[in-house]
Amino acid sequence: MSIDTAPGASANALDATSGVATRRDILHRLLMTLGPILAALIIAGCILLAVGVDPLAYYGYVLEKGLFSPLGIQQTLTRMAPLLFLAAGLIVAFRAGMWNLGGDGQFLLGAVTAAASAPVLVQVMPAWLALICSFLISMVVAMAWSLLPALLRAYQGVNEIITTLMMTFLGTSLANVLVKLVFRDPGTTVPQTRTLPVEDRLPRLFDTTITSGLVLGLAAIIIVHLVMTRTAFGLKLRIVGANPRAAVHAGLGVPGLTVAVFAISAGLAGLAGAVDVIGVQGNVRADWNPAYGLAVIPAVFLARMNGFAAIGFVFLLSVLSIGGESAARRLGVPNHFTLVLVSIVLIVLALAEYVDHRYNQSRKA
């Protein structure tokens, strides 16, 4: 009997140990994900107290407008559309071990291109075909804008953080110049592009104000997730991100894959700008820059570059964005305080990752 029961007891012990380890892993992930968010909310609340604003009232207005109001939740879901495209582009870059921080410049150039091309194209072809062409033009322009950082990283080893940030400043300035000098609507006194008629924009969902760009954004991030996790191409990109030298020894064309990563990431950023203009804005005004590109980065990191998890964190970011605008008007808080909150999340997340890394190293030692 002892011979028969010993293996069973060992198996039960192994199962119990495995279950405990799994629960620890889940709790650890939850702590590393939700902990920075809660810490950032507390720190931001302290800042609000320091300037004489009730943080509970501020967060209450954020939830009331961004989540519990019927019109607010529609605005929140609409705001998600461009953010999902940007998140998809960042997932491609980050999983491949590359930092495309030029999303804002690529976004604005895509938006300006769509705003300039769509009103003209709808006059000479069916609206659905004109919108598709505008999407493609925006994507190609954003891809072209990423070409210089991609080539410098691929063939010269130049740090892409520096080059993409520099291209962001140049792209933002170029977008403003194009709006003011090249694509300016002569029929208005305000420097802006021509306005795309409402009936020619992306259709709404279910008789609401939610743009169908939300569906496109969800499709984009899900496709990116599946490509990065279920295809040979995605495996190649992850190998390049994990160990570029090993990728070279494995015979992978690292320079070509590097250019492809930047092109895909930038193309998705350009589509984000096109979706925002064609689906919501209708035009682009001079000096318009919502700075979505950098705001999405914490959401992607909190999701651990997982496309499905990123959808949830993008929704949270949209709630903060829409609700924060309402709270700012009611309480006299600067309109960009949401960006401050997002920045605090990123800083706390980086600190948490550093502490966790040092703790794991000390345990292994």
Q: Lowest mean pLDDT: which of 246-255, 286-295, 344-353?
A: 344-353
Q: Identify which of 83-92, 233-242, 287-296 has the greatest average pLDDT.
A: 83-92
Cα distance between the two ends of the chain: 42
Q: Which residue has the higher pLDDT, 29 or 110?
A: 110
Longest dimension (CA), the chain: 94
Instruction: Give the phi and the psi of residue 209 in degrees, each rounded to 5.
Output: -90, 5
State mean pLDDT over 192-205. Answer: 93
Q: Which residue has the higher pLDDT, 318 or 246?
A: 318
Instruction: Give the phi and the psi of residue 285 in degrees, each rounded to 5.
Output: -95, 155
Instruction: Give the phi and the psi of residue 192 in degrees, each rounded to 5.
Output: -155, 165
What is the band of 1 on the pLDDT scale with cuts at 50, 70, 90?
A: very low
User: Does residue 282 carry a pLDDT above 80?
Assistant: yes
Mean pLDDT of the chain: 89
d(CA 260, CA 254): 10
Structure tokens at 2: 């002892």
In the prediction, which pLDDT does 365 show? 63
What ranges do the domains of the chain cover?
79-313
In the prediction, which pLDDT does 60 show? 93
What is the band of 345 on the pLDDT scale with cuts at 50, 70, 90?
A: confident
The neighbouring-strand residues paired with 285 are 192
Report yes or no: 122 and 201 within 8 Å, Cβ to Cβ.
no
State mean pLDDT over 52-56. Answer: 91
Instruction: Give the phi and the psi of residue 358 in degrees, each rounded to 5.
Output: -65, -35
By percentage, how much of the chain surpasses pLDDT 90? 65
Report yes or no: 143 and 270 within 8 Å, Cβ to Cβ.
yes
In the prediction, which pLDDT does 9 show? 56
**Sign, Cα dihedral of 76, 78, 82, 86:** positive
d(CA 151, CA 345): 32
State mean pLDDT over 102-113. Answer: 95
Q: What is the DSSP letter of 51?
A: T
The neighbouring-strand residues paired with 192 are 285
Structure tokens at 326: 């309402």
State mean pLDDT over 289-315. Answer: 91
pTM of the complete model: 0.89
